[in-house]
């Protein structure tokens, strides 16, 4: 594992992979996948915990999460208004004992696109209440600016729609956000379908990648978790090393001027 440390939300970490805890075929698969991924942040839905699959299932799930000894990032999944998201965040702080919250306010049920107006409104209130807000948003530069204006130190634009697996639909938009906010922590959240998508996100200079479906729904979640761990490390190292720029024309890697040529002597 790359030993480089980085900071987010007041915590110092090694892994730049944030992982979800839903959709796995079994609790043991979830546990093993999270372990092999090296992730140090796991997202947990308060609504899932409240609804659950029975008391025993909820207890088993929470025991696994606690035993992993990693940071929990509760989310407000399922919220459709700022008021609903704020209430869910306040409950999550009590349940999970953390001021971190992944802020999701869905504006469209068809493509699960976040509502930019309600998201900014909720973020402003939660920051004033002492939360460290991880807002899920689109790749819209203006929305990112509004979130930064109300005090967000972390912004999480999507790569594409939640669960779509399409990867980075608009890399130019994502790059513009990165350039506009060099001092903010930027995490790609949603739409990542395969390891190469995560590598691309890291090569753009993003600080991390949050994903769930691509691992949980893979034929082998454990191998896929390992693949994403390596992909994110490779992408970050490539960014730090300085990825070569594209060229319009071919350029030989070995120069021909001044080099000897062997020829047969009669």
pLDDT in tens, 189-243: 999 999 999 999 999 999 999 999 999 999 999 999 999 999 999 999 999 999 7
Model-level pTM?
0.86
Q: What are phi and psi of 29, to 5 degrees?
A: -65, -40
- The answer to whether residue 66 is catalytic is no
pLDDT digits (tens, 9 = 90+) for 128-162: 999 999 999 999 999 999 999 999 999 999 999 98
Which residue, 33, 5, 43, is CA-closest to 209?
Answer: 43
Summarize pLDDT for 65-105 with one digit per residue, the tens: 888 889 999 999 889 999 999 999 999 999 889 999 999 99
Which residue among 102, 121, 223, 246 is the active-site one? 102
Pairing type for strands 11-13 and 6-8 reads: antiparallel
How many angstroms separate the CA atoms of 258 and 246, rounded? 27
């Amino acid at each position: 594992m790359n030993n480089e440390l980085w900071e987010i939300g007041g915590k110092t970490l090694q892994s730049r992979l944030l992982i979800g805890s839903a959709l796995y075929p079994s609790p043991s698969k979830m546990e093993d996948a999270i372990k092999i991924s090296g992730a140090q942040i796991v997202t947990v839905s308060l609504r899932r915990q409240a609804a659950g699959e029975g008391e025993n299932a909820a207890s088993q799930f929470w025991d696994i999460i606690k035993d992993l000894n990693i940071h929990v990032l509760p989310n407000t999944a399922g919220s459709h208004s700022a008021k609903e998201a704020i209430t869910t965040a306040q409950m999550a702080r009590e349940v999970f004992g953390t001021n971190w919250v992944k802020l999701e306010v869905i504006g469209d049920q068809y493509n699960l696109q976040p509502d930019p107006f309600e998201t900014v409104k909720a973020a402003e209130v939660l920051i004033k209440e002492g939360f460290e807000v991880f807002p899920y948003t689109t790749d819209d530069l203006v929305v990112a600016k509004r979130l930064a204006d109300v005090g967000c130190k972390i912004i999480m634009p999507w790569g594409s729609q939640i669960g779509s697996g399409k990867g980075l639909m608009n890399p130019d938009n994502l790059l513009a956000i990165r350039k506009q906010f060099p001092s903010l922590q930027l995490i790609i959240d949603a739409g990542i379908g395969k390891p190469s998508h995560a590598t691309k996100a890291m090569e753009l200079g993003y600080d991390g990648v949050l994903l769930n479906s691509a691992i949980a729904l893979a034929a082998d979640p454990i191998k896929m978790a390992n693949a994403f761990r390596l992909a994110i490390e490779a992408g970050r190292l490539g960014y730090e090393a300085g990825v070569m720029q594209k060229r319009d024309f071919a350029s030989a890697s070995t120069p021909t001027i001044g080099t000897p040529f062997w020829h047969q002597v009669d």
